[in-house]
Structures are given as structure tokens and as C-alpha cells.
Structure 1
């Protein structure tokens, strides 16, 4: 493989990443519109949060199929399909007359992102020289991460001026640029041909489990456990595991869950997404309801941190290439943990400037550890299992992102803007400390294997 990455490969990666960027941009832009949507559709925040949760759930379910899709279909065809789903979904969102249609459009956007997100990282692994994979994983992450950087400010500015529907119509520029960049550069990558059929039963059982799990958590707002959803979740999880370990049809390779090093990084990656998307929902709502700032400033509060974190992603990837995973994992999580503790202890004395400052440091620590963990967990695996590893990693992290959004909305609906943020922050502190233990497991001498 050549040591340099060609312009064609670069445009290929950027074009596909733009589709994932578009979906996440819409998702984070909508978070600051929740009070306005609640007023327009005459419902509470716990119902409105499904605008975000439904999108994340659709992304999650679609990503579960990514290993099969990448082996079965051309990357060019998958890219074009993602654009079609995104454009149709975005038009439905912009023209929706009620919450149901808005959520339907978000689901279609989620399908698009669920195709594009794993595709871009698989293309990086397949086309970029091994010595530069960390940097290019960082670049791909940077493009996608720019969406949550600009999303809240973009959404707040448009919501305050042209209304929330304009968020979707203007966003159609992104897939147009993707088509221009990728029409002659998105090419089919070498893929391991799939043997056998797609395991529909395993897919359906996992999809039902993920959906019922989120509905179960959502129902906790009433203060009671919905036993019907709990039973459905347990039964479908058991069915999925039994099917996945006995069927010869193609879906997700569950044997990866027997690799301790894989699990030791998979869980932190998922936790980072849970905390990030939970706070991205809670902080703008906290600012609007408690500090009474406008939608624009509520969205802007996340922009400096998210933008800096996105721009630093390639540097974090390069740090991984030069120093390995240990330094960025431990240092990143240390910064991440300290900032969450500070944020938790200072509630409700947080001001807009202080939130902006803390969020910048929070994102720097989180992205340093997250980018390195996401690279290491894929690089460690056998080439034949990389697509499956990517599918599992992105499925779990997106599900945990949806769960973080649901839990964040639930806590604020139940305890209010201030106490909801405090409860979620204390939970985040505990999870951040536990991550240190998982990193210790990953670097345990008994589990060390030669890096691929």
C-alpha cells in the first residue's frame, strides 16, 4: 500500500463523511429548539426528545447492518443510498405538520447516517496506510464532529430568525456538496465477499431489543417500571444472543465479545457517547429554563468546545500514531473526569461564560480519549473482523447516545433543569472513574497482544 493518501481517496472520505455530518448537524441543531417545538406541538419535553432519540435509534439499528452491507454492496451504491434517504427525510422534517411526521423524517435521516458513518471509517481502514490510520481516523472524526460543533449555534440562530423548519431546508446544501465531491471519487473498496444470507431474525430481535429498552427507560418518568417493555427487552435480547451464537447466516459477529481487550475499550467508547449526548441535550435546556438565555446563546454555549475538540481530533490521532494508546487514553480521561467533577460541584452557580469554559476542557479530554479508543479497538482486530468490530462499536455508542438523550430528558422532566443536570453529572462522574479501571484491563500484561 502506498505511504501517501491520494487526493481521490481524500475526497472519497470527505464526501461520505459529509452525509454523516448532515444527519448529526440536524440532530444537534434541533436540541436547542425543544422549548419551541414543545409549544408548537402542545406536548412536553419528554415527548419532544424523541425527535433526537428516534434519530439516534434509527442510526443505531441501521449500523447493526453495516458489516453485512459493506461486504454485500459497493461503497458507491451505499453512499448514494445514504444521500437519497437523507434528502427525503430532511424534506419531510421541514414540511412536517405534526410531531409524528417530524419524527418520521428524523428516522429517515438516521438511516442515512447509519449507512454513512461506518462506511467512512471502513474506507479509512481499507485505503489509508497503516502508519497514518490514527491521523485519518482523527480527520474523519473531525469532519463528523464539526456537526455537533456548529449544530446548536446553527439551530439556535435559525430558530430565532427564520423558524426551526429552516434548519432542514438549508441543511440540504451538505448532501449537494457531497455529490459534487464524490461523484467521480467515491469508488468501490476491496471487500471480503459475504457468504450466506442476511440473518433477518437476529436483526429484528436486536432492533426490537434496542427500541424496547429505550421505551422502558422513557416510561420511568411515571415513576414505575413498565413490565411489558421489560419482558420484551429481555426476551428479544435472549433470542438475539441465541440466534447470533448458533446461526450461520450473516449479521454481527458475537465472538468479538469474548475478546477482553475489545470489551475494555468498547465500554468506554459507549460511555463517552452517553455522557456527551446527554449533556448536549441538558445544557442548552438548563441555560434556557434556568438562566433564561435565548436559543442562540444556549446553542452557542457548546460551539467553542465542540469546534476546538473537532479541530484537535487529527492531532489526537497523530498522538496515537506516535505514542500509542496509553498516553491519550489516560490523559484524556483524567481531564474528562476532573472537569465533570468541577461542573457537578458548581451547580447551580454555573454561568454562561463558565459553562463555555468547562465545556471546552470537557471536550478536549473526552475527544483525546475517545478518538484513541476508537482507533485502537479497530486496529487490534483481525482484518476479517474489522467490519464487524466497527459495526459493534458504532452500534453500541449510538445506542448509548440515544440512551443518554433519553436519560437526560427524563431527569430534567422529573427533577427540573438544575437538579436534572446535577443528577446526570453525578452519574457521569461515577462512569468516568470506572473507565480508568477498564483502561487498566486493556493494558494488562496478561492481555497484551501484538498490534496489527
Structure 2
């Protein structure tokens, strides 16, 4: 069945737009709650009597589950009606919400967040799937930017979480999104259309097991490091086993006719470079969203309200810069916005590191605004540019891979930020908890700078490859 990408006059139907709005808002609700919890960590640590390495699973566990569900996106979109997928996701979202608001202990709260992660793992790829399949290619950049705004607005979560926590308590964080989620549920269920035929495709269970093993083992390895340090035997053992499981999935996928995610997408060098940079971009983004509110509260001693508000100007900037970045890509190509954006995030990271000893809430707000401007020019454009490198038959696999790595990279980003801080807090140097947290945060900033530098190098190489490919084609 022909999709709207090839309709006359490149028009987008009203139902398609409303379907994107509905699925997008539901995805936003999930992501908003995910990052809103970051600012509640000091409170939750006190209420439930847990450490930072334990409480960070509220974020990293949520993202881990979401990323695993997203690996099933390509299969689900072929096998089931999109409206059916959305209905299940909506039900799981409300179940997770109920568990969280009524949680008597940390275990129930964590289970509620994991259920919510499943819901987001279904809705986010659904939104991008509709965009990729039903939006004309000439308008793809701006619509992908709109989708990416929804995902990247995760950074407004700490502002929302800080405001609600300060005035109403952490449980109200979940109650207040309920009306918006109900609106999104109705909007999506009324407007999602099935533009592709259902296929009785085979579920690659073995492939899912290998991917799940890789994701879980690598995530657990960082939790082990946070408890026992980088020299821990269990850390290295889990990390190696996780990498081995990922390799075994690659071998399996190359020997099965219907892999969960086709590894043929990784034969396209320009796609791979965009894919890796996209993962690092989200790792840094979630890392910043985790680090800054906690630094504000644990090191600077500010309130949860101010710690959350410091991210607000940067979050609002994304509303303007990201659509503009998508239009810029459509008109000028990907190189200008992506290289400019990564450079801005790199400068921001260097400023955070250089001024850490004298950081204040106003300074952090300015530096994060610069980071957000750069992130806005980079994030959705890496996704758009990467997807353009794939032929149509592989776009479903590319979409699933991008969405899965986006969530998983965020999970690893949160885990790494918590790990550097936890290791500093447990090292026996007679330091106060405040000083140890400050040292761990400094290491976090160094790590984020290195990731941003790698992103820049990868994209310089990427555009060189694309330029050479264009010359060869001509």
C-alpha cells in the first residue's frame, strides 16, 4: 500500500497530523515523568532510605525497559494494527501511573516506573513510525524535528518535578499529567489510521533474548561499578558478557531470515556514524538532565524548585531552535546545523567544567541554555540524516534501532552520572559527602566533554563520506 510520502502536492492529511499529536503527547507524558523524577532523587533517598546508586534505577530502569520494548517496534508495526498497539500502550501508561501514586515503598514505585517504560517504549516508535511512513520526504525534516521536540523536551521534566515537589510533594507529579494523558489517549485512538497492510511476520524470540541480555548486563555492570568501583571483577565480567551477547545477536541476525532488527542497516557507513552520534547525543542529554538538578541540590544546597527551574530557559529554547534546525536541514542540508549544534554543546560542557568551582544557579542556567540550543540543532537532524541513508525496505528497522538506542543511551547516561558520583562518595579519603559529590560531578563533566568531542569527530568523518558518495553518484 502506498504511503502519503508519495501523494500529489505533498499534502499531509488532518488525521495524520492529529495522530502525530496524540501519540506525541502520550510519549511526552511518559518522558516528562521520567526526567521529572531526577529532581526528586534527594527526597526519595530520604523517604525510602536508599542510596543514589539505587534511586537512579527510577530513571535508568525505566529507560532500559523502554529501549527493550522499542527493539520490538519493527515487528509490532508489521504484525498488529497501529491503533491496537496504541490502545495497549495507553492501558499500560495508566496502570503504571496508578502504581506510582499509590506506592507504599520503593519497590512498588520502581515497578510502576518500569510499566510506564513499556508504555513509552510503544508510543515513541509509533509516533516516529507514522512520521516516517506518512509524511512527504520534502517535509520530513520539520516533522521529525517536531517529533524530536517531544522527546527532547524531557529536559523540562526537572523543572516540572521541582515545582510540584516543592509545593505538592512527589506523588502529585504523577496525578497532574493525568488530564493531558487522557486527552492524548482520545486524540490518538480517534485519528490513527492504518496505511500499511498487516503482515503475519515471525517474532525473532532468540534475537530479543540476545538483545535483552546485552542491554541488561551492560546496565547492571555500571550499577556494580557504582557499588564497588571500576576495578570490580563483577563490573568487567558483566560488561564483557553484555558486549558478547550483543555480538551474538549480530551473528544470529545475519543467519535468520526475519531478525528482530536487520543488521543490514549497519552496512551503510553514513547511517552508522549518524546512529552512534545520535546515541551519544542522547546519553549527554539525559546525563545533563540527571546531573544538573542533583548538583544544584546536593552540592550548591539549593531547593528542588530552583534546581528544576535552572533547566527551564534551555528547555523553552528547544521549542524554537529544533523546528528551525529541521527547516535548516531541509533547505541547506545536515552539515551546517549538526556541526554547529555539536560545537555549541561542546563549548557548554567546557564551560561547566571550567567554572565548576564557582557555579551558581544563574551560571548553570546560561550554560544549559547554550547546551540546549546546540542539542536542538543536532538531535533530530542526526536522526533525519541517518534515516535518509537507508532504502525504504530498511526504514522500519532503522526507526526501531534509533528509538531503542535513544532510550538505552539515556539509561546508560543516567547510570554513568550516578556511578561517578557514587564512587567518589564511597572512596575513603575523609572527604565530606558534599565534597565527594562535587568531585564526582567534576568527573561527570569531563566524561560528557569527551562524548561531545567524539560526536564532533564522527560527524566530520560522516559528511566527508557523504560528500564523496555524492561525487561518485554524479
- Range of TM-score over shorter length: over 0.9
Is the aligned partner of 1:310 residue 2:319? yes
- 1:424 counterpart residue number: 444
2:225 pairs, out of 220, 225, 244, with 220
2:408 pairs, out of 399, 402, 414, with 399
Task: State whether residues 309 and 360 of structure 1, in contact with CA within 8 Å, keep that contact through their aligned partners in structure 2.
Answer: no
Task: State whether residues 26 and 181 of structure 2, in contact with CA within 8 Å, keep that contact through their aligned partners in structure 1.
Answer: yes
Between the aligned partners of 2:68 and 2:28, the Cα distance in structure 1 is 18
Answer with 368-377 or 224-233: which moved more: 224-233
TM-score normalised over the length of structure 1: 0.95
- Residue segments in structure 2 that go unaligned for 5+ positions in a row: 1-6, 425-435
- Deviation per CA, 1:321-350, whole angstroms, max 9, x where unpaired? 111101111111111111211111111211
- Deviation per CA, 1:287-321, whole angstroms, max 9, x where unpaired? 00111111111111111101211332111111111
> Alignment partner of 1:184: what SS?
helix
1:178 pairs, out of 181, 184, 187, with 184
1:45 pairs, out of 37, 49, 52, with 52
Alignment of 1:195-274 (within 5 A): 196-221=201-226, 222-223=228-229, 224-226=232-234, 228-230=237-239, 232-274=241-283
- 1:64 counterpart residue number: 71
Between the aligned partners of 2:195 and 2:34, the Cα distance in structure 1 is 29
Between the aligned partners of 2:112 and 2:471, the Cα distance in structure 1 is 45
- 2:433 counterpart residue number: none
Between the aligned partners of 2:289 and 2:114, the Cα distance in structure 1 is 20
Alignment of 1:145-184 (within 5 A): 145-149=152-156, 151-184=157-190
Shift of 1:179: 2.5
Is the aligned partner of 1:74 residue 2:94? no
Between the aligned partners of 2:348 and 2:377, the Cα distance in structure 1 is 14
Answer with 134-143 or 435-444: which moved more: 435-444
> Alignment partner of 1:348: what SS?
helix
Shift of 1:232: 3.7
- 1:135 counterpart residue number: 142
Change (3 A) 1:332 1:80: same
Task: State whether residues 74 and 189 of structure 1, in contact with CA within 8 Å, keep that contact through their aligned partners in structure 2.
Answer: no
Shift of 1:450: 9.6
- Deviation per CA, 1:79-121, whole angstroms, max 9, x where unpaired? 1111111110111111111111111111111111111111111
- 2:3 counterpart residue number: none
> Alignment partner of 1:33: what SS?
helix
Between the aligned partners of 2:38 and 2:93, the Cα distance in structure 1 is 19
Between the aligned partners of 2:337 and 2:240, the Cα distance in structure 1 is 41
Task: State whether residues 75 and 189 of structure 1, in contact with CA within 8 Å, keep that contact through their aligned partners in structure 2.
Answer: no
Matched positions, count: 449
